Structure 1
Amino acid sequence: MRLDKFLKVSRIIKRRTLAKEVADQGRILINGDQAKASSNVKIGDTLTIRFGQKLVTARVNDLKETTKKEDASELYEIIKEERIEDSHLL
């Protein structure tokens, strides 16, 4: 599944266009490698996303084309969230 679609379906990022912008800005890593919006996401992958001064690391648990709002959080597991002081980390 494409990264931008996974982020939208899982509701980590609410809109697919915003997910694409974040990926294109180089703010997302998949298993430590720079990701594009079109990058393929697989079950077990680790996503590291920079939201402003926050770094969120999540593991992909499941892939679905669509999901209900209540079930979206089951698609991933947050491994860690950390504040970053230096914006040059990612």
Structure 2
Amino acid sequence: MQMYAMIGVRQTKLKSVLSMIKQLKFIKNVNTVYGEYDIVAELNTRNNDASNSLLKQIRETDGVNTIKTFVVSDAINEKNSIFS
């Protein structure tokens, strides 16, 4: 199950939150961003239970204020492009 998590973080905790998230199983990529959220993480889990467990770990991390998730419905790449 592929999804993206937009994570709002207290600025004084940004480094520690990043460090913790990067170590979690099923995290594919982590990036800091400008805007409403501070971190975008790409998650790739086996199933719904694993996703819920991972998101709970992130939510309960000291310094995490908000989290918004986006579940991927269709993975689009150059071979599987809607524009081809």
TM range (shorter): under 0.3
- Superposition TM-score, scaled by structure 2 size: 0.25
Pick the structure with more helix per residue.
2
- Superposition TM-score, scaled by structure 1 size: 0.24
Pick the structure with more strand per residue.
2
Higher relative contact order (CA 8 A, sep 6+): 2
Larger radius of gyration: 2
